[in-house]
Structure 1
Amino acid sequence: MTSSALTVLTGAAFGLSLIVAIGAQNLFVLRAGLRGVHVLPVVLVCALSDVVLIAAGVGGLGSIIEAHPGLVVWARVGGAAFLTVYAVLAARRALRPTPDTEETVARGGTLVAAVSTALALTWLNPHVYLDTVVLLGSIATTHGDARWWFGLGAALASLVWFSLLGFGARFLQPLFSRPAAWRWLDAAVAVVMLVIAATLLAGI
């Protein structure tokens, strides 16, 4: 195995370690996959956003973010506010499902709403900048001239992960054939969002 291939694999392994954990973005992709609607656009938005952020980190944007901690504070507050609103909506669906919300779930919502939410959950999440841009970028620099191979590996891992999460969710659809299963999923989404929002505020 060549050194470049080894660096790509190292980047892929590190990239997976950052994105596989349960989070707001992953839960949204899973939900889209379970609905079976707008899966490709949601997967592309999340994966390509990761590619852009990884490239920014490898290119050195992380040092700029570290030099302006005030930006991180505002990002944490904004991200926590957005996640709290999303959690409240999910909790409302879980506690009081209505025919209108059930019909919306069946349709999967509009393409614009799905893409907008995917963009918001990605770019309004401060952890994306701290982990993908700052941390991954810092690790990439340790590989010197091969840092772009490291970034390539991380980008490929992101593309594979979101594709598996979005398109592989259909195998769980029989489990979610009952409305009660969706209520439990929404309850889990609400809890995870609130926990993430709390951790963001705690880090200020």
Structure 2
Amino acid sequence: MPSTLVSLFSGLAFGLSLIVAIGAQNVFVLRQGIRREHVALVVVTCAVSDAILIVVGVAGVGGAVSAVPWLVPVATIGGAAFLVGYAALALRRALRPAALASDTAGERAPWGSVLLGCLAITWLNPHVYLDTVVLLGSIATGFGTGRWWFGLGAIAASVAWFTAIGFGARLLAPLLARPGAWRVVDGVVAAVMLLIAGRLVWGLLVP
């Protein structure tokens, strides 16, 4: 398989691994989808925000690596360590899964308040910077010149995921109300992160 496709699909898999774990942003999108309330606005806002952060992460870390070449192995090892840590957290969630709880009642909120809420959940969450700027940017360095393909894959994952959960929330609601469903999701997240961490370390050992 061409290296560009490897980078692209690795970014896609890693992006999904980061984003599918249940959290405030996903719950917000699912809730709006279940209520059928300004879904397109929420999906576009989340996807564009993620794309901006991913580009900043890939460009920023990439520029630092170009200026200081020894940062490549350091960033790669650090990224792999982050992945192992995330995998451990996902496995922990899988052992103690939480069900999705979303209020389906109430009056329709104005689009302005929904937009502000979406922006706040996205940009005021410190984890989003760790995930997309620091972690994803660090992981991207392990793909060298293919880091932008990796970033494109991660952006595609973000767009696909938010579109799926936003517009498919009505169908997913009964399933996501079960803790067992999130057990499977977190188990897959852990497996993908460990696989990518292994690939990064292997790339350092076998250039």
TM-score where L is the length of structure 1: 0.63
Residues 110-165 of structure 1 deviation map (CA, whole Å, 9 limit, x = unaligned): 10011111100000000000111001000101111110000000000000000000
The letter of the residue matching 1:111 is: W
* Aligned amino acid, residue 45 of structure 1: T
1:74-85 to 2 correspondences below 5 Å: none
Contact (CA 8 Å) 1:62, 1:134: kept in 2 or not? no
Q: Is the CA contact 2:54–2:154 (under 8 Å) kept in the aligned structure 1?
A: yes
CA distance in 1: counterparts of 2:21 and 2:63, whole angstroms? 25
Match of 1:128 in 2: 128
Q: Deviations over 1:70-97 (max 9, x none)?
A: xxxxxxxxxxxxxxxxxxxxx9x98xxx
Paired with 2:15 and 2:159, the residues of 1 have a C-alpha distance of 10
Distance in 2, Cα, partners of 1:7 & 1:23: 27
2:155 maps to 1:155? yes
- What corresponds to 1:20 in structure 2? 20
4+ residue stretches of structure 1 with deviation over 2 A?
Answer: 61-64
3-state SS of paired residue (2:118): helix
Change (3 A) 1:36 1:140: same
Q: List aligned pairs for 1:73-152, cutoff 5 A.
A: 102-104=105-107, 107=108, 109-152=109-152
Q: Which amino acid aligns with 2:137?
A: G
Counterpart-to-counterpart distance in 2, 1:172 and 1:3 = 35
Q: Is 2:59 the counterpart of 1:59?
A: yes
**TM-score, normalized by length of structure 2?**
0.62
Give a deviation string over 1:19-38, Cα, whole Å, max 9, x none: 10000000000000000110
* Alignment coverage as a number of residue pairs: 139
Q: Which protein has the bigger helix share? A: 1
RMSD of Structure 2 on Structure 1 (CA): 2.5
Overall identity of the aligned pairs, in % = 59
SS at match of 1:21: coil
Query: Structure 1 stretches of 5 or more lacking a match?
Result: 65-90, 95-100, 176-180, 182-204
Residue identity matched to 1:56? V
Query: 1:157-187 CA deviation, whole Å, 9 max, x = no partner?
Result: 00000000000012256x5xxxxx9xxxxxx
